[in-house]
Structure 1
Amino acid sequence: MRILVCPHDMQLGGSSINAVDLARAVRDLGHEVWVMGRQGPLRQRVAAAGLPLLALPERARVRPSPAVSRTIAAAVRRHRIDVVHTYEYWPLVEAFLGAFVPRGTPVLGTIMSMGSLPPYFPRTGVPLTVGYGELYEETGELRGLEGARVHLLEPPVDTAIDHPIGSATADGEPEVDVDAFAAEHGLLKPAPTVVVVSRLARHLKQEHLERTMDAVARLAPEVPGLRLVMVGGGSIEGELQARAAALNGDLGRRAIVLTGEMADPRPAYALADVVVGMGSSALRGMAFGKPTVVVGEQGFSKAVAPETIGDFDALGFYGLGAGRVPVEQDPLLGHLIALLRDEAERERIGTWSLDLVRRRFALDGQATRLVEWYEQARAERPVARGRVGEAVRVGGRLVGFKATQRGQALRRRTRGPRRATTG
């Protein structure tokens, strides 16, 4: 097959990294695969994988973008693409309008992000894969009566690359240089180390990142030498740097270290005693044999263990709590201290985590399933009349969605500050 893969963007986020890793694994199964994207650091990963990269227009004034749809359509014609595989919301709609409706080229969409499907999504003809159980059930109910297939595709982990130091690696794969990483960031002295690898973004991530910083600062006086290493870049990096500086000032030492973005964060995972994360980042920590605590939103945190793994089936490696609480009441404190003080427990959970990732989340197995779904999408291509009818319905729902967004934005702009009253 000839497959065009369209990641959400070319930043170093979980969904986009998954897109490139799966594209490479599908290519290695004997298929021709192209990746399409704008500028961004993920291009280095695409080049390292030896995948051909096609350019998208750098600026899109509106989403879905007609220019992007036209670019996808041109690539489908030029390379005689059999299936277009998109990741997240707008790329799916753009491929739907550019490749599926006019040409009947099958489009398969993957949704890894949290939250319900938006109302403008195609409900027939475009199969979906989703990353966690609750969205799988919700999407199946939404689309099942109309005949569109939904598959569960949990985040993949390339265990040939992400693995404990000293274990078998793929031929030619370089070992992780933890010493060089530690020297670069002033981490040479052995110390209890908590690691976070994440996009430093406001949406979904900010609470998770701030709570982890505050928890480590709170525990630092109780755990000699305790430090947090936070790897990543993004829109709130400056805010987090300022928070780290303030916390370090209060502690009188450099307990919280922000390294900035890393194309290859494996040395950080390898250095960790405990990993804190969500989604793909949590799974990568587990692939290194590290005990992992998932921190979500609204005060949620839970250690991943044989006793708790079933709790993550609904929302994936994420969660919602009853509400954020002061740091001294944050359950994250208990999870961290229990693991940091018990080396035998860290070893038990780390060994179990590694085995789970290899059995359930390995990249090769996920790629094999994906190829089966590509073949299924080719075999079930709807006729032209059905494609056009669904395009009309999508257009109507999209107009309604955009009108609602504009109305909400207008109300926010026109709602002035409340006047103070006296009595």
Structure 2
Amino acid sequence: MKAGLLGGDAFRTPGVAAETAAEAVRSRLRILVYPHELAMGGSQINALELAGAVRDVGHDVFVFATKGVLLDKVQELNLPYIEAPQSRFAVDPATTRKLTATVRELGIDLVHPYEWTAILNTTFGPGLSTGTNVVMTVLSMDVPDFLPRHLPLIVGTPALADMEARRRGNIHVVEPPIDTIFNKPRGIAASRQELGVNEKTCVISIVGRLTTDLGKLGGVLAAINVVDRLLAHCDVTLVIAGDGEGYSQVRELAGRVNSSHGREVIRVLGNVLDPRAIYDAADIVLGMGSSALRGMAHAKPLIVQGRSGFWLTSSPETEEQFLRGGWFGAAGEGEAELEEALTSLVSNPSRRELLGAYGRALVEDRFSLGSAAERLLSIYHAQLSTPTRATALATSLARTGIETAKFRLVMKLLENTRAKHPAGGS
């Protein structure tokens, strides 16, 4: 079945749709996965790959989301797709209406929204009006306090789960999974030929959103500056794949560096739906979160990026830190730290090879897609088997409604302030 074409047995009859939660636990589940958008991003890719893996073990899985570049991946995974309305804020009436209608029409047993806007639309849509079971995931490193507390929450790291356990129960960890069959070394020479990159240069690759979120844009700009300096004593090329509000800024800085060297030493590719060649062509990968793990899956040495100038090489010595806190960091020494890490790896091919093999083995052992799907299904079954107390539901919804209204008011005030006093204005 092609994405966007829901026909045949994709819909249930009213009698089947009335199946109880207890029966659903024992049978084939019908699950609606709701990524907050289909723009390129780690959370969205994880949502789709897990949806495919859960479908592959015998369940009916549908995707509800606004259109975006990852619609191609939905089609590639052959997941039935329902287009969500474009919306600016949660809770969005048009979205909650269509989401609720979709849940009823498809006889959905459980909705799984990813990130806070999708979570709020689900909570005050089918979660409230039809009592549909909901499991929510936040893969960002910051979990908003206004999210409902009566629903199970999945996060991506043990450290974040410990932090959240101070203010809510029913916390689960599902580490970002990687499809290690799809993401694997294919041959550096072929990948470089595909990208038109010189075989002899040392390639540093970045794949990620060019946004200010979690300091991603600042890290990319820092990498361009560091590579500019490294070119004084070694032959390196930086390849950047990604899009976002910082794209023009990245292009501008890359253009200035390329002009100063008289050749293209910084390649800015924009959005690349299948970035495997970019990982595979690299000698070194820079990244965070799922992108970092995909770099390691391609057997590349990894320098992990975080916010506020954090850079640290992934190695057996730093493994415990990253396994507990995620492939991210909170503060560091900025460009100086990155330059030191890159210089060490650029000048040492044997260490690059050792760290690449280490990373591939770690991803295969710890982050397999199949294991993550099994863990996710156990969380679904637990939620379907556990009734929510009416008092807990009412308290949670009231609190989320009030706190969300406060959040929206603050965001509106900030928007009005920026409009009156734009950056660079008097």
Q: How does 1:22-421 map to 2 (within 5 A)?
A: 22-57=50-85, 59-115=86-142, 117-124=143-150, 126-144=151-169, 149-165=170-186, 179=190, 182-183=192-193, 185-204=195-214, 205-223=216-234, 225-322=235-332, 324=334, 327=335, 330-384=336-390, 386-411=392-417
Q: Please say if residues 104 and 387 of structure 1, whose CA atoms lie closer than 8 Å, have aligned partners that are also in contact.
A: no
Instruction: Measure how far apart 1:164 and its partner are.
Output: 1.7
In structure 2, runs of 5+ residues without a counterpart are 1-28
Work out whether residues 119 and 136 of structure 2, in 8 Å CA contact, stay in contact via their aligned partners in 1. yes
Distance 1:417 1:15 in 2: 31
Mean Cα displacement is larger for which, 12-21 or 67-76?
A: 67-76
Q: Which amino acid aligns with 1:69?
A: T
Give secondary structure in 1 for the equivalent of 2:307. coil
- Contact 1:290–1:350 (Cα < 8 Å) also in 2: yes
Q: State the SS of the aligned residue for 1:403.
A: helix
Superposed displacement of residue 381, structure 1: 2.9
Residues 419 and 266 of structure 1: CA distance in aligned 2, closer, same or farther (over 3 Å)? closer
Distance 1:332 1:25, change over 3 A: same
For 2:146, give the aligned amino acid: Y
- Structure 1 distance, partners of 2:250, 2:140, is 23
C-alpha offsets along residues 271-299 of structure 1, whole Å, 9 cap, x if unaligned?
Answer: 11110111111100000111000121211
Displacement after TM superposition at 1:221 (Å):
1.8
Identity %: 34
2:173 is matched by which residue type in structure 1? Answer: L
Is 2:195–2:277's contact at 8 Å kept on the other side of the alignment?
no
Does structure 1 conserve the Cα–Cα contact (< 8 Å) formed by 2:299 and 2:357? yes
Runs (4 or more) in structure 1 with deviation over 6 Å come to 415-420
Cα distance in 2, alignment partners of residues 44 and 415 from structure 1: 40
In structure 2, relative to structure 1, the CA distance for the partners of 1:306 and 1:55 (3 Å cut) is same
How many residues align? The count is 397
- Structure 2 residue aligned with 1:173: none
Displacement of 1:414 in angstroms is: 5.7
> Per the alignment, do residues 418 and 361 of structure 1 end up closer, same or farther by CA in structure 2, a change over 3 Å counting?
closer
Aligned amino acid, residue 128 of structure 2: V
Is contact 1:106-1:381 (8 Å) kept? Answer: no
- Deviation string 1:346-392 (CA, Å, 9 cap, x unpaired) is 11111111110011111111011000000011011315554344322
Q: What is the root-mean-square deviation in Å for CA atoms of aligned residues?
A: 2.2
Q: Does 1:17 align with 2:45?
A: yes
Q: Contact conserved, 2:91 with 2:124, CA < 8 A, in 1? A: no
